[in-house]
A and B are shown apart, each in its own frame.
Chain A
Amino acid sequence: MQTLKTDTNVDLSEIKSTLKSEQRKILTKKIMKNKLMVAGGIIFILLCLLALFGPMLVKYDPHEMTVSDRLTAPSGDHLLGTDNFGRDLLSRIVYGSRATLGVGFSVAILSSLFGLIIGLYSSYYKTLDHILMRISDGLMAIPGVLLAIALMAALGPSTRNVIIALSIVFTPYIARVVRSVALSVREQTYIEAMRAQGASSFRIIWLHIMPNTISPLIVQATFIFSDAMITEAALSFLGVGVPAPDPSWGNILYDGKLVIFNAWWMTVFPGIMIILAVMSLNLFGDGLRDLIDPRVKSGKKIKGDKHAK
């Protein structure tokens, strides 16, 4: 990885390209060797495809109800059965994947963006650092689900607000990671040198410090993605997430719990989907981290390292 950067002053394009292709091969080999990561990646891509194209394939509209057919068990007509309004569970799960993955993705992107900005600037300016880090300490000290529930109660129910609330919850974690990487980069001689040469702080931050933080940021973002999906599901399950009657996996579980004595399928199928999504992302993230930063032992998420100073 590091070597990729040395190509700036070499002109031997042939060597360069063979080197590059060899590196690519090594990387591919490394990736393929990590079977779990590949499996995770594939499952996750399949889920994304399901969210994108699945709605075109299902037979029923997720809102269409035949009340007289409520709570029918899986059958040829309704492959996964129907819910308590007589809506087709399969199409609700398929449409629900849009809500759940969509929330996870948006939260990962938004919190990465804000976390990146906050992390970079607080690594660069001492005073700002004190203020921002106290705030993120505070936010991180409140249990995530609780904070999200309180925020949802305050903001009111809508998918947009779920995304806002979860982004507020997860941004500090990204900011922490970015900041700790950025801090160590900042101390390096070449940054000192640039500063001595009078480079603007904007330039230093965005052109020289930021690129170093991207890899850990991406790893962290995949974990945020899966955590956000879990939290969304939990919020919807508690009735304060994606507003019903729009399908989301958590919403289906909410309805399922009420009829858990009558309809096992309403709990089991969305449950499997959540497990698949979360597990595939975790596998992928673990592998990605091993790939990017082999020093970090697997088995422990970096998230919220309280001792990073």
Chain B
Amino acid sequence: MKLKRSFLALFLFAALAFLFAACDGGEETDADGSGESEGTEGSQTGGTLNIALNAQPPTLDPVVTTSTASRDTARMMFESLLVLNSEYEPTPLLAEEVENDNNQNFTFHLREGIMFHNGEEMTAEDVVASMNRWKENENQASEIIGDNEFEEVDEYTVSLELDEPSSLIMGIMAIAGQFGAIMPKDIAENAGPDGVTEYVGTGPYEFVEWAQDNYIHFQRFEDYQPLDEEPDGLAGARTAPVDEIYFYIAPDSSTRLAGIQSGEYDLAYQLPFDSYQQLMETDLKVEPSLAGDMILQYNSADGLFSDPKMRQAVNAALNIDEILQASLVDPEIYTMGANLMEDENVQWATDAGEEYYNQNDEELARQLLDEAGYDGEEVKIVTTRDYQHYYDSSVVIQEQLENLGMNVSLEVYDWPSLTDLVQDESAWHMRVNGYTFRPNPTQVLYLQPTTAGVGQDDRADELMDSIAEADTEEEARASWEEMQEYVWSEYLPGTKLGRYSHLYVMADYVDGFVYSNGGIFWNISVNK
């Protein structure tokens, strides 16, 4: 029968297609061999650490981006001259010592014998090329350093001269986010504006492979030379107890949650706040780490909210308890308060202005609205669901302000559209946004008129200048206390809602995790 044979052909075709798919799958993942290298039983070194990362980094070159996903992965392999310790003090890492002459002339003595992952030694020319690329890209650095450049003095010495003294530049050079990664000269010099594609650093782990949207693979760098000091924040000794580290990219929070529970991941990032209680009941180690402040930012630059009375009215009305309960969920993992700097940041932390925080005072709010002459104009909150807690807060804020009699609309965009949209200062009035901690107040973005939606204010400028130009730490602190008070009482470019944690969860056999400006994954060991 002719028909019969054709059916057979069809089935064969289907079977072949399946086989092809199967073979493809096989070849593709044999290459990574992720399942093979199991940890050595009971020992402190060795093994594989599987980390579930919440987002794919846009690039692994930290010099060109402020993305936190890039920061956390890139610093496995790249290092900078200075880093922040747990108290936010700039501390030498690749520099042996820094000579600071009056905050204006700096001389960096490099550590000798530091090897790049390509086997070459790091010398001054690499540092000069890397740091000059960095200062072009990092906003504050390029502002302060301007046309001056890092210069080679000898093979292990680099200098920098500023036009004017700056007490801040050391802190900026130690910044955790868009940090000055030191890489070989020719790579740094040939980098395009979207970053390098060849990842050669000096860190305790070296880059192996980046399977897009799947994983980033690092392995121990055998020639790494750790510092002698104890680990302290990002500073001190960096060691590489585990052989291999995989960052699996799992943007979906329920995937990360399920994966950490099934043992598929050893450590997971930023799990949903609603899962906190559930996770506490398991054997897993849950480490909520305060990560930043959630700010209700007002568009003080343009439109309705350029009137400080409007901002004060909203600030007076907010019931922050309710907002945080809906967005950050569990009081055990968020904190409240007026302090705008990190609590451990002893130099700056203050609760000045506390009485203006979480007032929940409808009467006062109405009165302020009257004074502002508010008459039912539409108030636009823009937000995104890509960061669920921003969205959740926005929904509650909308509801609270509506109850006050304001006419509030909520517009939801995806993240790229939103970042584009907020640049247009006529398009929005309020947004909730997260800001990671900064070492000093002049780096706090929502206090800077260069940030979209932040209006210029003479008094604020004055106070900020006096912080930057203060001669002593005490003077600077006093100015900041005054500034923070002013921020809360009148200026209000934003209302700090609360301090959120990222939920880092790991298996009980994972030891040595530290959170400091994001999770730190060197010094971690797997002891199963």
Contact = CB atoms under 8 A, between A and B. Distances in A.
Q: Classify A-B as touching or not with yes or no (CB < 8 A).
A: yes
B272 A244 contact: no
A157 B388 CA distance: 17
A261 B414 CA distance: 25
Contacts of B254: 257-258, 260-261
B417 interface: yes
A120 B237 CA distance: 77
Contacts of B392: 84-85
Given A84-B392, A157-B411, A68 B417 contact: no
Interface stretch (B34-42, B181-189, B395-403, B442-450): B395-403
A258 B410 contact: no
Nearest to A86: B326
A28 B322 CA distance: 58
A64 B402 CA distance: 10
A144 interface: no
A240 interface: yes
Nearest to B416: A153
Given A245-B395, A245-B398, A261-B257, A84 B326 contact: yes
Interface string A242-283: 011100000000100111111000000000000000000000
A51 B398 CA distance: 25
Nearest to B383: A244
A259 B411 contact: no
A259 B254 CA distance: 9
Contacts of A156: 413, 417
A239 interface: yes
B278 A262 contact: yes
A243 B412 contact: yes
Interface string A59-83: 0000111011011000000000000
A261 B412 contact: no
Contacts of A260: 254
Interface residues of B, number: 25
Interface string B332-373: 000000000000000000000000000000000000000000
Given A153-B417, A258-B253, A261-B254, A244 B275 contact: no
B423 interface: no
Contacts of B395: 65, 85, 244-245
B274 A84 contact: yes
B459 interface: no
B326 A258 contact: no
Contacts of B417: 153, 156
Contacts of B399: 63-65
Interface string B405-420: 0000011111001000
B528 interface: no
Interface string A215-255: 00000000000000000000000011001110000000010
In this complex, the interface size class of chain A, counting residues with CB under 8 Å from chain B, is 20 to 34
A258 to B, nearest CB: 6
A239 B385 contact: yes
B286 to A, nearest CB: 15
A244 B412 contact: yes
Given A63-B399, A84-B392, A244-B385, A258 B414 contact: no
A67 B326 contact: yes
B391 interface: yes
A146 to B, nearest CB: 15
Contacts of B325: 67-68, 70
B274 A259 contact: yes
Contacts of B272: 258-259
A67 B275 contact: no
A175 B385 CA distance: 36
Interface in B303-327: 322, 325-326
Interface in A79-98: 84-86
Contacts of B274: 71, 84, 258-259, 261-262
A261 B275 contact: yes
Contacts of B398: 245
Contact of A258 (B322, B388, B411, B412): B388
A245 B410 contact: yes
Interface string A141-172: 00000000000010011000000000000000
A156 B399 CA distance: 23
A70 B323 CA distance: 12
Contacts of A68: 322, 325
Contact of A67 (B385, B396, B402, B414): B396
A261 B278 contact: yes
A158 B322 CA distance: 27
Nearest to B402: A63
Contacts of A243: 410-412
A153 B414 contact: yes
A246 B322 CA distance: 20
Nearest to A158: B411
A85 B396 CA distance: 8
A65 B399 CA distance: 8
B393 to A, nearest CB: 11
Interface string A171-183: 0000000000000
B136 to A, nearest CB: 32
A67 B322 contact: yes
A240 B412 CA distance: 9
Nearest to A64: B399
Contact of A65 (B257, B278, B326, B388): B326
Nearest to A61: B399
Which of B254, B275, B388, B412 is most buried by chain A, counting CB atoms within 10 A of its CB?
Answer: B412
B362 to A, nearest CB: 16
Contacts of B388: 258
B413 A85 contact: no
15 contacts: A70-B325, A84-B392, A85-B326, A85-B396, A156-B413, A156-B417, A239-B385, A239-B414, A243-B411, A243-B412, A244-B385, A244-B412, A257-B254, A260-B254, A261-B275
Given A153-B414, A258-B388, 13 more contacts: A65-B395, A70-B325, A70-B326, A84-B274, A85-B326, A85-B392, A156-B413, A157-B413, A244-B391, A258-B254, A258-B274, A259-B274, A261-B278
Interface of A: 63-65, 67-68, 70-71, 84-86, 153, 156-157, 239-240, 243-245, 254, 257-262
8 tightest A-B contacts by CB? A67-B322, A67-B326, A67-B325, A245-B395, A239-B385, A243-B412, A259-B274, A85-B326
